[in-house]
């Protein structure tokens, strides 16, 4: 392709609809979706794959006209299943920004099976148009051509159940004051004082209410704070096939990087100093153990508080 986006998109993970229109015009392409493959190299540069050094960039067009970027994230010291795939990042990024649908995605490498499955959580997934820029003849093709005869939400959920990118307002119940657990080494250094703790809890609680967790019923949210006191939160996203699910801690790292956090240096750590997890006390699964392991590897010594909510129906 000869067209080049005229504007700098360095470091941007969300491009507003008006700007996307203007960029398409300046780039000489007929429609915004034709701009997506032109942005893939810039997305790849934002990836953080210190284990594989294999950079994946994904760029999606939302129903709102906004463009969302996604990149792969890898976390040294942790098993590979803690990684975030670019397509997952893209969807979590869109979800965090209230996007209601993704219609077209351009991606640097052909989506792996894990991502083909993860994308099934979006209503009308079969019709999402995928373009692989590394193909010999890149063209948008429906996701159904990459994953025919899929297993997905219709196999497990009522047809009216909200899917990913649709509004969620999960009932968490009441905060169980006896269920607040503290860990990590941050309490003694003054980080995690009242104001920051409150903001982390509120952010994690909001993320839990927006969580897509219809299979376990374990809505969960995670929030992290950097040394500048900036807070980033992410919602747990489940997959009908379970294993491709995106954990709340990973979703928070997506939010952190997408909002310009993450330490600013690819190999220099994430700059996280404190975190909070909100989950249900009586849920079938708990993220606490995994989140502690994750945080210890990503931000050693960071302070973590876990808030467990007790559903009103519980005794």
Q: Is 218 annotated as a binding residue?
A: no
Q: In the complex with Zn ion, which residue's Cβ is closer, 112 or 180?
A: 112
Q: Is 74 annotated as a binding residue?
A: yes
**In terms of DSSP bridges, do strands 57-62 and 102-107 run parallel, antiparallel, or are they unpaired?**
antiparallel
Kind and range of the H or E element at 107? Answer: strand 102-107
Quick one: tokens of 298? 């990503």
Q: In the complex with Zn ion, which residue's Cβ is closer, 50 or 301?
A: 50
Write the DSSP string, 198-237.
HHHHHHHHHHHHT-B-TTT---EEEEEEETT--EEEEE-B
Q: Is 61 annotated as a binding residue?
A: no
Q: Is 85 annotated as a binding residue?
A: yes
Please state the closest distance from residue 58 (CB atom) to Zn ion, in A. Answer: 9
Please state the closest distance from residue 253 (CB atom) to Zn ion, in A. Answer: 16
Active-site annotation holds for 87 = yes
Handedness of CA 97, 59, 253, 221 (dihedral sign): positive
Please state the closest distance from residue 105 (CB atom) to Zn ion, in A. Answer: 12
Q: Which of 34, 87, 121, 205 is catalytic?
A: 87
Q: Assess contact for 235 and 208: CB atoms under 8 A.
A: yes
Q: Assess contact for 57 and 69: CB atoms under 8 A.
A: yes
Q: In the complex with Zn ion, which residue's Cβ is closer, 85 or 212?
A: 85
Q: Is 72 annotated as a binding residue?
A: yes
Residues that bind Zn ion (CB under 5 A): 85, 112, 114-115
Please state the closest distance from residue 128 (CB atom) to Zn ion, in A. Answer: 14
Q: In the complex with Zn ion, which residue's Cβ is closer, 114 or 209?
A: 114
For residues 21 and 23, what is the distance between their CA atoms, to the nearest angstrom? 5
Handedness of CA 245, 251, 254, 259 (dihedral sign): positive
Q: Which residues are annotated as a binding site for substrate?
A: 72-74
Binding residues: 72-74, 85, 112, 115
Residues flagged as binding site for Zn(2+): 85, 112, 115
Catalytic residue annotation: 87
């Amino acid at each position: 392709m000869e067209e080049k986006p005229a504007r700098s998109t360095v470091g941007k993970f969300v491009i507003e609809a008006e700007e996307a229109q203007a960029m398409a015009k300046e780039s000489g392409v007929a429609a915004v979706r034709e701009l997506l493959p032109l942005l893939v190299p810039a997305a790849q540069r934002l990836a953080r794959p210190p284990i594989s050094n294999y950079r994946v960039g994904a760029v999606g067009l939302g129903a709102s006209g906004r463009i969302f970027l996604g990149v792969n994230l890898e976390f040294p010291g942790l098993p590979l299943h803690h990684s975030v795939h670019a397509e997952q990042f893209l969807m979590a990024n869109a979800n965090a920004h209230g996007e209601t649908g993704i219609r077209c995605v351009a991606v640097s490498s052909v989506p792996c099976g894990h991502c083909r499955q993860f994308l099934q959580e979006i209503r009308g997934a079969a019709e999402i148009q995928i373009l692989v820029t590394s193909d010999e003849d890149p063209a948008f093709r429906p996701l159904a051509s990459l994953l025919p005869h899929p297993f997905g939400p219709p196999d497990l959920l009522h047809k009216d159940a909200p899917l990913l990118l649709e509004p969620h307002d999960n009932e968490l119940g009441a905060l169980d004051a006896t269920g607040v657990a503290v860990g990590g080494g941050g309490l003694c250094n003054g980080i995690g004082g009242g104001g920051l703790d409150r903001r982390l809890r509120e952010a994690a609680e909001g993320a839990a209410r927006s969580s897509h967790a219809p299979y376990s019923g374990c809505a969960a949210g995670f929030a992290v704070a950097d040394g500048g006191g900036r807070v980033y939160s992410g919602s747990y996203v489940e997959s009908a096939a379970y294993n491709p699910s995106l954990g709340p801690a990973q979703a928070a790292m997506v939010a952190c990087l997408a909002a310009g956090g993450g330490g600013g240096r690819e190999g220099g750590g994430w700059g996280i100093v404190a975190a909070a997890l909100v989950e249900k006390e009586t849920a079938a699964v708990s993220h606490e153990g995994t989140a502690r392991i994750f945080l210890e590897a990503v931000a050693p010594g960071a302070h973590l508080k876990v808030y467990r909510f007790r559903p009103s129906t519980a005794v």
